[in-house]
Chains A and B, each alone.
Chain A
């Protein structure tokens, strides 16, 4: 099913282009003929009930699903910044640098705050102390965490609060200068204040990055996303401006889901 989308950002270049994608876990078809376009510097929210395929699609964008045995795209193409991500010349590790990911539960390394952020750039070849310092500061500032941690960069990341740990993970993701940031329910383990800080941060990050966020919190989707895609049973039911999805969706299934009349 191809969902219609009225996108006023058509003139902006495409960051992610999905065409007629089917995805299977073994024999089970988790995504059915998905087509959608995400343009640069927009925030797109994926919503839908558990098992609808939204996280599966998100994980396709940086080939995270390659790590799951028997899981594969069986049809269709996914282009990131114009490059088909399954073509042989694409290195999945490099792809994951360009398409970063923030997970539901913050997962800092058992290292210092500094090392958590410096890890990626160091792996990518930056070893000079001054350069690393500058990258770490910029990433922590970008994740709105610098002022809170600048005096204890050498301390363990585990000493941070849950919300700070999640922002540290965002800092770690943006330290390697990705083009796209994928977020899989990044606030589901956070309290309302920490959630608000992360949401504020996501809106800030939009200036530099393209963001796709999976969320079960529909209020969150209305607060931060430009467009929202509703998935159900592996199909993309509707993809439109977020205001439209939550005020007057075109499809009955979308209306039933967003209004809570979903059995």
Chain B
């Protein structure tokens, strides 16, 4: 029997393919929203802020659509083994991806508020944090699309670098906030934006965990959290 033989019911293969593609497409859309939110912040582009906020409803719809597809596959085909894992991990991954887009909206909303105030050069501190979060998200999506558990498994360790960078930037901004002055509100917005990016890293780790389950049928969530507890200090929140 050759491996990966097509399914006897063609409609089943088609449904599975559509489900898998929808997750990745939604992930790319969330990633794009995040990128546009950060660009809007740095380039002080109000139209882009508004677009990010408006486009979030598409992400919500994509999440609902993947859940409906998953439910339909469960109902009609009673999938097992890798097919069952794909349905379960897809439905879980899209919940994380939807949250990522929510964080993009939060960033866009704060960027909008910051636009009404004087530009501050500390906005540049956001960029490296964003790049780290984006790389984690990119690789999480790749690990899911390629069913690559090795990449998915490594995300938690890489997320620690993001956590450390997040803490450094928050410390710098908190210092400025304590000093007071006209820019205090903007510093506060930036702290919360960095916080959103740090959460994006956590959510990317979750998607990576879903990819490990999909590829290797292993539930590594608790191991990851134990790692987080053992290797980090109490100031960092555990992954959601």
> Given A249-B81, A255-B81: A260 and B217 within 8 A (CB)?
no
What's the A-B contact tally at a CB cutoff of 8 Å? 52
- Cα distance, A255 to B79, chains bound together (Å): 11
Contacts of A222 in B (CB 8 A): 80
User: Chain A, 227-246, contact with B by CB distance < 8 Å: what is the 0/1 string?
Assistant: 00000100000000000001
Contacts of B84 in A (CB 8 A): 246-247
Q: Which of B6, B77, B81 contacts A248 (CB 8 A)?
A: B81
Chain A count of residues within 8 A CB distance of the other chain: 19
Contacts of B7 in A (CB 8 A): 259-261
Q: Does B99 contact A (CB under 8 A)?
A: no
User: Chain B, 81-95, contact with A by CB distance < 8 Å: what is the 0/1 string?
Assistant: 111110000000000
Contacts of B81 in A (CB 8 A): 246-249, 255, 258-259
Q: Does B75 contact A (CB under 8 A)?
A: no
Contacts of B8 in A (CB 8 A): 260-263
Is the beta-carbon distance between B217 and A261 smaller than 8 angstroms? no
User: Chain A, 213-236, contact with B by CB distance < 8 Å: what is the 0/1 string?
Assistant: 000001100100000000010000
User: Chain B, 1-27, contact with A by CB distance < 8 Å: what is the 0/1 string?
Assistant: 111111111001000000000000000
Q: Which of B4, B77, B78, B85 contacts A261 (CB 8 A)?
A: B4
Is the beta-carbon distance between A248 and B5 smaller than 8 angstroms? no
Q: Does A256 contact B (CB under 8 A)?
A: yes
Chain B, Cβ-Cβ closest to A246: B80
Chain A, Cβ-Cβ closest to B83: A259
Contacts of A218 in B (CB 8 A): 80
Chain A, Cβ-Cβ closest to B8: A260
Contacts of A255 in B (CB 8 A): 81-82
Is the beta-carbon distance between B9 and A260 smaller than 8 angstroms? yes
Contacts of A232 in B (CB 8 A): 1
Is the beta-carbon distance between B80 and A259 smaller than 8 angstroms? yes
Q: Nearest-CB distance from A93 to chain B (Å)?
A: 40
A residues with a Cβ closer than 8 A to B are: 218-219, 222, 232, 246-249, 252-253, 255-263
Q: A259-B82, A263-B8 are in contact. List 8 more A-B contacts (CB 8 A).
A: A222-B80, A247-B80, A255-B82, A256-B4, A259-B7, A259-B83, A261-B7, A263-B6
Provide a sorted-by-A list of 21 A–B residue pairs whose CB atoms are within 8 angstroms: A218-B80, A232-B1, A247-B81, A247-B84, A248-B85, A252-B1, A252-B3, A255-B82, A256-B3, A256-B4, A259-B82, A259-B83, A260-B7, A260-B9, A261-B5, A261-B6, A261-B8, A262-B1, A262-B8, A263-B5, A263-B8
